[in-house]
Amino acid sequence: MTEAPPHPPLYTIIDVRADDAAGQALARDIIAVHGPAAAAVVRQNATAAALAGQTIQAKSWIAVLGSVQRQQSSKDPR
């Protein structure tokens, strides 16, 4: 009897890309939940991924950070 393959880690299932609609939606959701602190939250996620050796995920979070910053700056009435 063969064993079922182990479930992949969650970070391999969630493929975050700011270039696509899902990444844009993720940025909007993070802004909705965290408000002005959204960029800091995403930055922390990118740092945690980098420190864990998850280079691809860290780069994806950095792309989401760019999206968060663009969305927040478009709402800034300066």
For the chain, the domain total comes to 1
Q: Is position 16 within any domain?
A: no
Q: Taking the chain (78 residues) in consecutive chunks of 10 residues, what is each chunk's mean pLDDT?
A: 59 50 88 96 96 93 93 78
CA–CA dist 71, 78 (Å, integer): 14
Cβ partners under 8 Å of residue 58, min gap 6: 46, 47, 49, 50
Q: Is 9 inside any structural domain?
A: no
Question: Per the domain annotation, does 15 fall within a domain?
Answer: no
Range list of H helices, the chain: 10-13, 21-34, 38-51, 55-75
pTM: 0.71
